[in-house]
Amino acid sequence: ASAQIGVTGLAVMGRNLARNFARHGYTVALHNRTAAKTRALVEEFGDEGSFVPTESAEEFVAALERPRRLVVMVKAGEATDAVIDEFAPLLEEGDMIVDGGNAHFADTRRRERKLRERGIHFVGTGISGGEEGALNGPSIMPGGSKESYKALGPMLEKIAAKAEDGAPCVTHIGPDGAGHFVKMVHNGIEYADMQLIGEAYQLLRDVAGYSPARIADVFRTWNTGRLDSYLIEITAEVLKHSDPKTGKPFVDVVADAAEQKGTGRWTVQIALDLGVPVSGIAEAVFARSLSGHTALREASGHLSGPTPKPLEEAEAARFADQVEQALYASKIVSYTQGFHEIAAGSAEYGWDIDLGAVASIWRAGCIIRAAFLDRITAAYARQPELPSLLSDPRFASEVEGAQGDWRDVIGTAVRQGVATPGFSTALAYYDALRAPRLPAALTQAQRDYFGAHTYQRVDRDGTFHTLWGGDRSEVES
């Protein structure tokens, strides 16, 4: 046994992660169901470091130093269970299986429980950054036991992305499924970020009347300010790109039906279960669904409404600045909602997640990396028990500064007939939080009327019911 770590599942993610470990001086045992991939990796990249290619589960396990650290990078779902069933019987107490796939955290909890009985650590680990991140430094979100993190943490810290201050983008998130939960919400926030960027783009196109190349310049400018982030940066790149075949803006030749793999949907499903309002993420998931309903869209193409009229040059420039404000304020709201979901998951499952640490490990390596995350870490450092990001005075004042423009942009979008579900739902969330009274009072009254569901009063303790079908007097229940 000579390898400090092993990787099984050598598709794009696994192979790059294995190379990343090897480049940091670790001896890496390699395994893949189809052995040709193992051989190809060694042939192509064998000189990058020390690899031990193996062709059977027994050989793979035998190649690993104890306690064994076995990273599984296979297709999430049944394949993960198949691989665990294959390897677990060969492992001994204290060994660790690290699942770096995009598993559902409930599956991770189930797997962890089962393996714990046998003394094996199961470390469900979120890995973000795509194939490029896997190779050059991803953001890593490991769950599992504290003990497993002692053995794994130092290796993960080596291969993780490094933030500007040099800190590795990895931290022990919490027990069992905590890592995959946080990765799931990360992806949900990513959906919301992308939707908001899409809406900003559409407004600049239809209302400001800008070309994609001009919008690319606007995004590039935004990327030098508080919106500085990977997604804004690549948006500028994409918008600048022309289709080599037709010479048209690339964005105009891509079919406008967005796909999804499922983590955004999970974020919303779990939020519904936990009772957390993540309306921005939900709108982003729904916007992708709507875009893919080709028949529905074709059948609705004749529906009447305004056609956007592009603004004059000077007005357009002013409008572009307002869109930046709207985008930033909406972004604060989506992060507020995402962090609320993490806090709720942490409370529900007893994970004790450090929210500021989560924001800090997203600063590099992952898709939502952004300068903005430093502000979230700082907010939780100022007040660890912050009930909501919007309770932080600095975020609150930033939204306050942006909200005039935010409202104007949404008003313009509504008048011109440009759909902005992300911007609009974010503002609705903000206004609902601010409201001294919500129409929920009426909802409760209605519920009491048709279903005798009872209500509480603002002026007295107790639970009440009005005899709606009778003399409408109130009874205490």
Residue nearest to ligand NDP (CB): 101
Q: At closest approach, how far in Å is the CB of 213 from ligand NDP?
A: 28
Catalytic residue among 112, 190, 324, 341: 190
Closer residue to ligand NDP, CB minimum distance, 180 or 205: 180
Q: Check binding of 98 to ligand NDP (CB under 6 A).
A: no
Distance, C-alpha 33 to centroid of its chain: 30
Work out which of 12, 347, 432, 438 binds ligand NDP, going by CB under 6 A.
12
Answer yes or no whether residue 101 interacts with ligand NDP by CB under 6 A.
yes
Best CA proximity match to 202, nearest among 424, 419, 422, 412: 419
For ligand NDP, the binding residue among 27, 38, 54, 102 (CB under 6 A) is 102
Q: For ligand NDP, which residue of 22, 84, 127, 207 counts as binding (CB under 6 A)?
A: 127
**Secondary structure (3-state) at 155:** helix
Q: Judged by CB, which is closer to ligand NDP: 170, or 204? A: 170
Gap between the Cα atoms of 6 and 65, Å rounded: 10
Q: Which of 48, 131, 408, 448 contacts ligand NDP by CB under 6 A? A: 131
Catalytic residue among 75, 86, 93, 183: 183
Number of H helices, E strands in the chain: 20, 9
Helix (H) or strand (E) holding 59: helix 57-62
Q: 203, exposed or middle or buried, with CB in 10 Å at 0-12, 13-18, 19+?
A: buried
DSSP letter string, 399-435: HHHHHHHHHHHHHHHHHHT---HHHHHHHHHHHHHH-
Residue 29 β-bridge partners = 6, 52
Contact pick of 9, 198, 249, 365 for ligand NDP (by CB under 6 A): 9
Residue 81 beta carbon to ligand NDP: minimum distance, rounded to whole angstroms = 9
Sequential DSSP letters for 329-381 = HHHHHHHHHHHHHHHHHHHHHT----HHHHHHHTSSSSTT-BTHHHHHHHHHH
Tokens of 3: 């390898």
Question: In this structure, what are the phi and psi dihedrals at residue 183, rounded to the nearest 5 degrees?
Answer: -65, -40
* Residue pair 363/369 in contact by the 8 Å Cβ criterion: yes
Give 75 or 309: the residue with its C-beta nearer to ligand NDP.
75
Which stretch in 28-36, 108-116, 162-170, 377-385 sits in contact with ligand NDP by CB under 6 A?
Answer: 28-36
Strand order in the sheet with 96-99: 50-53, 27-31, 5-8, 69-72, 96-99, 121-128, 139-142
**Residues 322 to 351: which contact ligand NDP by CB under 6 A?**
none
Q: How far is the CB of 177 from ligand NDP (least distance, A)?
A: 15
According to the binding rule CB under 6 A, does residue 13 interact with ligand NDP?
A: yes
**143-172: which residues touch ligand NDP (CB under 6 A)?**
none
97 with 88: CB under 8 angstroms? yes
* Nearer Cβ to ligand NDP (21/423): 21
Q: Does 465 bind ligand NDP (CB under 6 A)?
A: no
**Is 358 among the residues that bind ligand NDP (CB under 6 A)?**
no
Among 66, 75, 309, 394, which residue sits at the site for ligand NDP (rule: CB under 6 A)?
75
What does the chain come to in residues? 477
Residue 190 annotated in active site: yes
Candidates 1, 2, 24, 34; binder of ligand NDP (CB under 6 A) is 34
| Minimum distance of ligand NDP from residue 33's CB (angstroms) | 3
413, amino acid identity = A
Residue 37 as a binder of ligand NDP (CB under 6 A): the answer is: yes
Active site members:
183, 190
Q: Which residues bind ligand NDP (CB under 6 A)?
A: 9-14, 32-34, 37, 73-76, 79, 82-83, 100-102, 127, 130-131
